[in-house]
Amino acid sequence: MLPIVQALLGFVVGTFRSRIGLQVENVALRHQLAVYKRSSHQPSLCPSDRMLWTWLARHWGRWREVLVFVQPATVIAWQRQRFRAHWVRLSQRRAGRPIVSQEVRTVIRDISIANPHWGSPRILGELRKLGITVAKSTVEKYRIRPHRPPSPSWRAFLKNHVSEIVALDFFTVPTVTFRVLFVLIVLAHDRRRILHFNVTEHPTAQWTAQQLVEAFPWDSVPRYLLRDRDGIYGPIFRRHAAGLGIEEILTTAQSPWQDPYAERVIGSIRRECLDHVIVFSEGHLRRLVTSYVDYYHRWRTHLSLAMDAPDGRAVQPPEQGQIFAVPEVGGLHHRYERRVA
């Protein structure tokens, strides 16, 4: 009796399954026909179409036989895409570490480059004082580590010791008779003051050492003397500098940029005075430079001094009168003052 019952149940279930299959096949074909009707050239699919066929691919074994408008591999790719999107949505719901913005990354890199001797905790503390809250691991990830042991840069040395540094340098000036005269300039870094200058046709180590003594009375000897590696600064010069208690700082060979203040003041003397005159003699050159140095100290404004002169120049308000121009350096320049008419 039991085998007969099992056979009858199998027949009923098979009949029922075949009718469901026919209905599903009918739905699949009608759906594809509807897609073709609403499309002009090629099938235009929307998300609901893809969801239908991914569902059919999972629950109906004959879905490949009736599929016409796309390849079966395309339907499988849709399913994989839905799977990835599903897990992306789940992962976004969880609270994780926030993304570090590009601005914060740049700040971390800039701080680590400007302060190569700082460690991650020091950078982290500085960021928190700036209102930036990140983890130490974030600082470790984005900081720039120096490739060599940290040491102060040449620019930092000049800034830290600007009040104790003087620079010394020569420049040449040709005369109308083709003689070459040498001008020695001694410049203080703090206020860009020219402490001493002199002119000679035959500079020697003894003459240069004597200029060093004349430039610095005992109560105004600087701590450092910045100079190049010219052979004129021989043993005599070095002995005089050591006797005055001056430590010599030598620039790298063929690196005039390491003595920028002296190079700039020499350039100013050339551009603003000597390039516009013909030098006749040593005495004539000395008078020209003296006239320019007086104008330079008392009247010429400097960007590095907040638009002030090296000797300090008072601001004259409009109440002090009208503006008058006074020629300086033989008329090459003018100074302007307010006077009561």
Convert the pLDDT of each residue in 191-216 to its tens digit: 899 999 999 999 999 999 999 889 98
Res 203: pLDDT = 93
State the Cα–Cα distance between residues 205 and 230, nearest whole angstrom: 10
Q: By mean pLDDT, which of 15-19, 232-236, 314-318, 321-325 is the weakest?
A: 15-19
Non-local CB neighbours of 271 within 8 Å, separated by 6+ positions: none
Q: Which residue has the higher pLDDT, 202 or 131?
A: 202
Helix (H) / strand (E) containing 195:
strand 193-200
Q: Please, how many CA atoms are within 13 Å of residue 256, restricted to the half-sphere of its CB?
A: 9
Which percentage of the chain shows pLDDT scores above 70? Answer: 72
DSSP 39: -
Q: Residues 275-316: pLDDT tens digits? A: 999 999 999 999 999 999 999 999 898 888 888 889 988 888
Higher pLDDT, residue 307 or 147 = 307
CB 156, CB 163: distance < 8 Å: no
Q: pTM of the prediction?
A: 0.57
